[in-house]
A and B are shown apart, each in its own frame.
Chain A
Amino acid sequence: SQQGEEDPQALSIQEGENATMNCSYKTSINNLQWYRQNSGRGLVHLILIRSNEREKHSGRLRVTLDTSKKSSSLLITASRAADTASYFCATLSSGSARQLTFGSGTQLTVLP
């Protein structure tokens, strides 16, 4: 079953604008990760935020984590047409099988 939900399901913006995607999850986590997927191909790891961190930056990406609300957000600044893709959040479980549980994804379209 899906761990959580991304919001919005689809987002369309103009090149140069910022894109914000939100993710909610249900159980306690070790970390939360964001992945990008182009055209139904493999997942590309973007950024990881640990359960004891609140904010993390990587280039044009900014991720926040609020464990009290079980939610995270991904901000992509100064978007480019090449950022067009599906974005998924995933939480890493504790326990011997460290499985990733994914949300349903946000389809981002950046218009030139």
Chain B
Amino acid sequence: ETGVTQSPTHLIKTRGQQVTLRCSSQSGHNTVSWYQQALGQGPQFIFQYYREEENGRGNFPPRFSGLQFPNYSSELNVNALELDDSALYLCASSTPGLHTTKETQYFGPGTRLLVL
């Protein structure tokens, strides 16, 4: 167990709707990263939040947005859902430090989103 939790575990939405996914980071971690994993693929980086600010973004459109709260938990919001948004959404928490060569991220169990 990593101590990273995500909710809900599963979600079914229809095309055009909006969805909010939630993540609680591991105690002591101030950074949350979100990844999208399509079936049969490796996870792809969506964005990262550090101290409540977006700290980097992958190749995802603006309808993917996020928030980080003072307790370091985070939300991923996706507007105008498309069929291709069906995927496993993973969040990971970490604490970037001086020694980047030892740095890793700890993943939650994921939220499986199905868009019909």
By a beta-carbon cutoff of 8 Å, the part of chain A in contact with chain B is 1-2, 30-31, 33, 35, 40-45, 48, 50-52, 88, 90, 92, 94-105
Contacts and interface: CB of A to CB of B under 8 A. Distances in A.
B43 A97 contact: no
Interface residues of B, number: 35
B37 to A, nearest CB: 8
Interface of B: 2, 4, 31, 33, 35, 37, 39, 41-45, 48, 55-59, 88, 90, 92, 94, 96, 100-110, 112
A98 B57 CA distance: 10
Contacts of B105: 45, 98, 100
25 contacts: A30-B103, A31-B104, A40-B39, A41-B110, A42-B2, A42-B4, A42-B110, A43-B92, A43-B107, A48-B102, A51-B101, A90-B42, A92-B103, A95-B56, A97-B55, A98-B31, A98-B100, A98-B103, A98-B105, A99-B58, A100-B45, A102-B35, A103-B42, A104-B41, A105-B42
Contact of A50 (B41, B44, B101): B101
B45 A50 contact: no
Contact of B94 (A44, A50, A98): A98
Contacts of A95: 56
A33 B23 CA distance: 22
